[in-house]
Structure 1
């Protein structure tokens, strides 16, 4: 009698593990896509939002409130991942995001809308922190790059669709509040299904070894980050930099930060940001690279559309469309960079190449003028997109490779927090440089009564300025934007230099790179993590 083949029975558990891994990845991608989409969807809808509520002067805070809450709560949820578990943090984030989105849909005033956007931002912060930590536990360190590449590509795709969906909303004749409500109801159904999927698939959290909560650190860090971001949002746009409205938040931010450092170094039993992380050369060098990366990237993302709209005369919709090739380049580059990291077992070339290409982007757009052809704009922005994608995938792997397994959640959230903080600094510098150059150079190009309208509204150059002054005003605006790019070049150089100090850590396919479900140092096999969902 011929022997019975056991091939099918042997392969069945492997197929089951791969199937569950794919479902988990799909659920994580869906949750991250929706939260990232909600972060960018209002960027092109702010004028309509302000008009519907008759509160255009504070409409910008609909976006700022989301970003402030998102950045301020990242360290907190990084700690929650270890204390309460990744699953609980993800579901809590989905709950916050769902409640905030629904309340946005029924908001009856601008103040209520801003508060509800803050709630949604808190949820998005928890979703981001949990998603990237779960991804880190799904794969060994040497394979993690490909997973992070796919997740970063999803995040970039949401950045593409967000502004375009916002433009679509603006083009509709229905009230924005009704449209927003319908959209949030769509989110509600999706998140109900996503929550059920996550409940079934994600591994259970073991509370055998609970950790203490760093209440003092939380109460000092969140106000410090929030006040810092508030000051940077106020300065140069709403109030002068030397005004009390800007200086008081900055001083209080420094005071809270100093208190936080003392608490973390001297008293905290389970610090939210362990001081040992900042004794690691590779972690410090990567975080400095992150800061410079965020500074240059945010300055570009928020100011290059000004070039397309003011200098090139595009509408908000077309300026977003012209940036789609760059966003696609980010998606592809992030995925390819992650795969190359998994194949080559080396992440440092991604840091170096990314910073070089980011520097090339900043340098090349500095030569753009009124007559720059679009094919050149596409080439340069695609080059920059390749660099940005490489940095997204490389920086997080660099931090995780240098950190101890018990610090994976912390460094993962710290990675994005530093990018956000650096980006806020970049926006403040870019806004100050642009405003200062316009105020200094416009008097020689246009009559005095047109200076303040041009400074306060970029649309005035094309839509309100008399035709005989437009060419001169465009030249001044172009030169002012050029000074913005010049001011970003030192940051790109510092980022490249700091990336050279990142040490190579061996990316081995070993179980020691994995955390178990208790959030401790105990190694756990990658397959065991997936099988724990059964």
Structure 2
């Protein structure tokens, strides 16, 4: 036991927080926040960091381009293979693989490690690209495209996951913005590049070009992505895979996507085939949820992740944003090419302002969020202007001047840019660290599913409204969307049908997106930093208010012993050693 004399009685009685100590709390809180913002899971040298980021961006551009690069090559492919009734499956197969397997890669990244899963995705993508380029018939091409889509989905998910591991939070929003910009830009220039390959070289080089790029990316990732992998043996890792959940999710999602793709085109919505597909999806998905909840030891979709409100909101926003953004981007070419008879190349060039403004919104908001925080504000601003942009694109008529379209596309693209990747980083910051990979891929999954819904709903409304508008003027004529260029003023009524579909789909989904942004809670590191600073300071005070038990006895001895004029304090702390006797007021509690 130690004795301390001449202790200030005021400190013991009132335990005040003096100004110097308060400043120390504030500085400590600031330092805590700074460390959380600047911390990384895996630190790389500048050279390695640059090479890895470059490899990730190139890999993402490669996989994203292949979603749309073949669209302008499809007529040539269908003529060469004599497959007018099957050629659309070249795109559909890719989207099925890309979307259905998206959640799996998040879990595989946790089980097998980041580097092995990314290398697997790149090798699969490069090899299936070679097979696509060498395809001898349409069935061979479609099959290879399905596996290429699986690999492309893995590259998209793993890019976001690896960036979260190697980039500090202060800069992560900006790098995520670059990822979003690449995804948006390639979706626009894909048809343009595909048209150039088809016209001047061969459609096969739209696939062959991926092989050398993929090989280089594999080498860079293998050499420089030194992210630790789980220590178990391959067999132990393999047995962790949720095979039943994987099977049920893939079957369910494929049934849903086929129903949405075939409904109203290949089959009527009331046909037995479409009904069975939707019933199969419903039953399969319910069983999947039960398996994830009660059976799976390593579930693909752990329900705990949705206990955080921000994670659920981000997934919902990704879904509704996918409806609005991908629903518009993937159908506006119909307005330009079929409604106005503009070439595919010129249609792609007209959308360049949108892709550029998406890039600016993504990267600009990422930089500002990394520097100042307040990600919720950018989400709400983006949601608000998405409503305005969605309304303005419904004005794109047959004779609408492009100068107006130019500025409207900038507004629309900027609003999307403020939302697109910020949902991912909010999920990464809000979810428990062990669910970072799963949360990332879930966001991508919901966005892609939303895109399929958006395209399907827009297409369905066009298919119904075009004949209805035409028959208002020509009641004796029976037409379908396939007759756009065969009937009088078909382009005018077709454009009007597209405008109506945008009013029914884009505007409501944009309003819902904005409403969801209003309910975000506190986001660590990238949210309200003033509030986070106060929270850290409060935690420090609470921690210092609960030290190890210190028994303080103040003895006022009236006897004429030594030091009788002094107060003595007995401090006992079990076996702990006291090395600093200059206690602050917050370090002492008076025990009565």
Q: Hey, what does 1:17 align to over in structure 2?
A: 45
Deviations 1:97-138 (CA, angstroms, capped at 9, x unpaired): 112111111111111111010111111111112111000011
Q: Helix, strand or coil for the counterpart of 2:399?
A: coil
Match of 1:503 among 521, 544, 547: 521
Identify if the C-alpha distance between structure 1 residues 204 and 41 changes in structure 2 by more than 3 Å, giving closer, same or farther: same
Contact 2:181 2:355 in 1 (8 A): no
Deviation at 1:448, TM superposition (A): 5.4
Deviation at 1:69, TM superposition (A): 0.3
How many Å separate the matches in 2 of 1:404 and 1:339? 24
How many Å separate the matches in 2 of 1:36 and 1:504? 32
Q: Going by fraction, where is helix more abundant, 1 or 2?
A: 1
Q: Hey, what does 1:481 align to over in structure 2?
A: 498
Identify if the C-alpha distance between structure 1 residues 402 and 310 changes in structure 2 by more than 3 Å, giving closer, same or farther: same
Deviations 1:14-35 (CA, angstroms, capped at 9, x unpaired): x981221111111111111111
Residues 1:192 and 2:215 aligned together: yes
Contact 1:332 1:389 in 2 (8 A): yes
Identify if the C-alpha distance between structure 1 residues 154 and 428 changes in structure 2 by more than 3 Å, giving closer, same or farther: closer
How many Å separate the matches in 2 of 1:167 and 1:445? 37
Q: Helix, strand or coil for the counterpart of 2:330?
A: helix
Deviation at 1:205, TM superposition (A): 3.6
Deviations 1:232-271 (CA, angstroms, capped at 9, x unpaired): 1111121111111211111111111111111111121111
Higher CA-based Rg:
2
How many Å separate the matches in 1 of 2:462 and 2:272? 22
Between 1:138-147 and 1:263-272, the stretch displaced more is: 138-147
Deviation at 1:449, TM superposition (A): 5.8
Q: Hey, what does 2:4 align to over in structure 1?
A: none
Deviations 1:306-339 (CA, angstroms, capped at 9, x unpaired): 2222333311211111111111111122111111
Deviation at 1:408, TM superposition (A): 0.6
How many Å separate the matches in 2 of 1:195 and 1:368? 44
Match of 2:83 among 52, 55, 65: 55
How many Å separate the matches in 2 of 1:319 and 1:416? 27
Q: Hey, what does 1:69 align to over in structure 2?
A: 97
Q: Hey, what does 2:386 align to over in structure 1?
A: 358
How many Å separate the matches in 1 of 2:267 and 2:379? 37
Report the TM-score when normalising by structure 1.
Answer: 0.86
Q: Hey, what does 2:256 align to over in structure 1?
A: 228
Contact 1:90 1:126 in 2 (8 A): yes
Identify if the C-alpha distance between structure 1 residues 443 and 160 changes in structure 2 by more than 3 Å, giving closer, same or farther: closer
Contact 2:130 2:208 in 1 (8 A): yes
Q: Hey, what does 1:517 align to over in structure 2?
A: none
Q: Hey, what does 2:31 align to over in structure 1?
A: none
Contact 1:68 1:229 in 2 (8 A): yes
Residues 1:160 and 2:188 aligned together: yes
Deviation at 1:451, TM superposition (A): 1.5
Contact 1:152 1:393 in 2 (8 A): yes
Deviation at 1:183, TM superposition (A): 4.6
Identify if the C-alpha distance between structure 1 residues 508 and 379 changes in structure 2 by more than 3 Å, giving closer, same or farther: closer
Deviations 1:379-424 (CA, angstroms, capped at 9, x unpaired): 1011111111111121111111110110010010000100111111
Alignment of 1:230-309 (within 5 A): 230-309=258-337
Identify if the C-alpha distance between structure 1 residues 159 and 368 changes in structure 2 by more than 3 Å, giving closer, same or farther: closer
Alignment of 1:89-108 (within 5 A): 89-108=117-136
Residues 1:456 and 2:482 aligned together: yes
How many Å separate the matches in 2 of 1:16 and 1:441? 60
Structure 2 portions without partners, runs of 5+: 1-42, 530-592
Deviation at 1:446, TM superposition (A): 4.6
Q: CA RMSD in A?
A: 2.1
How many Å separate the matches in 2 of 1:475 and 1:188? 44
Alignment of 1:16-165 (within 5 A): 17-165=45-193
Contact 1:53 1:110 in 2 (8 A): yes
How many Å separate the matches in 1 of 2:105 and 2:133? 26
How many Å separate the matches in 2 of 1:206 and 1:475? 58
How many Å separate the matches in 1 of 2:44 and 2:433? 27
How many Å separate the matches in 2 of 1:154 and 1:31? 10
Q: Hey, what does 1:530 align to over in structure 2?
A: none
How many Å separate the matches in 2 of 1:364 and 1:183? 34
Residues 1:345 and 2:379 aligned together: no
Residues 1:426 and 2:454 aligned together: yes
How many Å separate the matches in 2 of 1:84 and 1:251? 34
How many Å separate the matches in 2 of 1:183 and 1:429? 30
Contact 2:365 2:418 in 1 (8 A): yes
Deviations 1:325-363 (CA, angstroms, capped at 9, x unpaired): 111111122111111110122211222122222221221
How many Å separate the matches in 1 of 2:167 and 2:70? 35
How many Å separate the matches in 2 of 1:287 and 1:218? 20
Q: Hey, what does 2:468 align to over in structure 1?
A: 440
Match of 1:405 among 424, 428, 433: 433
Deviation at 1:142, TM superposition (A): 3.4
Identify if the C-alpha distance between structure 1 residues 447 and 440 changes in structure 2 by more than 3 Å, giving closer, same or farther: closer
Match of 2:362 among 334, 345, 355: 334
Q: Helix, strand or coil for the counterpart of 1:45?
A: helix
Contact 2:44 2:166 in 1 (8 A): no
Q: How many residues were matched structurally? A: 480
How many Å separate the matches in 2 of 1:301 and 1:425? 13
Contact 1:237 1:431 in 2 (8 A): no
Contact 2:194 2:206 in 1 (8 A): no
Deviation at 1:184, TM superposition (A): 3.7
Deviation at 1:475, TM superposition (A): 3.5
